[in-house]
């Protein structure tokens, strides 16, 4: 069975990515990452030096956490092309920290055969505190048919889709609820409540007692 692939037609704003739980960061992992990226700052590999700076121990390179978020995205977005990944580091990562990486679809749009899915991504530590927050943009095929066409040298499937932001989702739901309500008769009740009330008739002057 071929591996699952991500296609634009199957993605909806608000979809959540399966959480990615990472085991506790250890000093060996920190040293290996620092060596791989050529970051030999002593605060990552020399605990005695780190303590002279009033740090409890060595600290993980920031890029290690960014790599965890990248893994979250690539595990979910199979077949997509990563166009952008930006991360803001909220807390330092220490040996012993465990992270749970999470994400959701925040935006989707398509124009002239180019389809983009945008994500909000973040990581929480074992205390439930926000450790990293970021965003990324993915370019995907519209469907399996679109992928087949393009890989065979044909033009893409073109379906123009206006930007759909998660920020606009609550208003969209309300609009849909109103439309559904009108079709079922509930809209008439809502319309009646929303309709301006007729002005009250002026009260008749009280008759004077003789």
- For residue 39, the Cα-to-chain-centroid distance in whole angstroms is 30
Written as six digits, the tokens of 170 are 């609550």
Please name which of 130, 134, 16, 123 lies closest in space to residue 84, comparing C-alpha atoms: 134
Q: How many CB atoms lie within 10 A of CB 130?
A: 12
Residue located via tokens 């000093």: 27
Least confident of 78-92, 111-125, 151-165, 183-197: 183-197
Q: Taking the domains of the chain in order of start, what are their residue ranges?
A: 8-24+64-188, 26-59
pTM assigned to the model? 0.74
Q: Could you say which architecture CATH assigns to the domain 8-24+64-188?
A: Roll (3.10)
Exposure letters 38-50 (e unless 16+ CB within 10 A, then b): eeeeebbbeeeeb
Mean pLDDT score, 79-90 = 95
């Amino acid at each position: 069975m071929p591996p699952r692939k991500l296609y634009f037609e199957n993605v909806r704003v608000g979809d959540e990515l399966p959480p990615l739980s990472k085991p506790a960061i250890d000093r060996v992992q920190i040293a290996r990452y620092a060596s791989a990226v050529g970051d030999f700052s002593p605060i990552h590999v020399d605990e005695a030096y780190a303590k002279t700076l009033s740090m409890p121990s060595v600290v993980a390179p920031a890029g290690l956490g960014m790599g965890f978020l990248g893994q979250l995205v690539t595990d979910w977005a199979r077949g997509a092309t990563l166009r952008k990944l930006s991360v803001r580091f909220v807390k330092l990562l220490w040996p012993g920290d465990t992270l749970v990486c999470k994400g959701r679809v925040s935006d989707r749009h398509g124009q002239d055969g180019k389809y983009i899915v945008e994500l909000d991504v973040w990581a929480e530590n074992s205390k439930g505190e926000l450790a990293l927050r970021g965003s990324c943009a993915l370019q995907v095929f519209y469907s399996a048919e679109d992928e087949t066409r393009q890989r065979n040298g044909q033009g893409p499937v073109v379906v123009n889709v206006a930007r759909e932001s998660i920020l606009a989702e609550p208003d969209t739901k309300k609009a849909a609820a109103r439309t559904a309500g009108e079709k079922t008769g509930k809209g008439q009740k809502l319309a009646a409540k929303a309709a301006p009330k007729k002005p009250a008739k002026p009260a008749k002057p009280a008759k004077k007692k003789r």
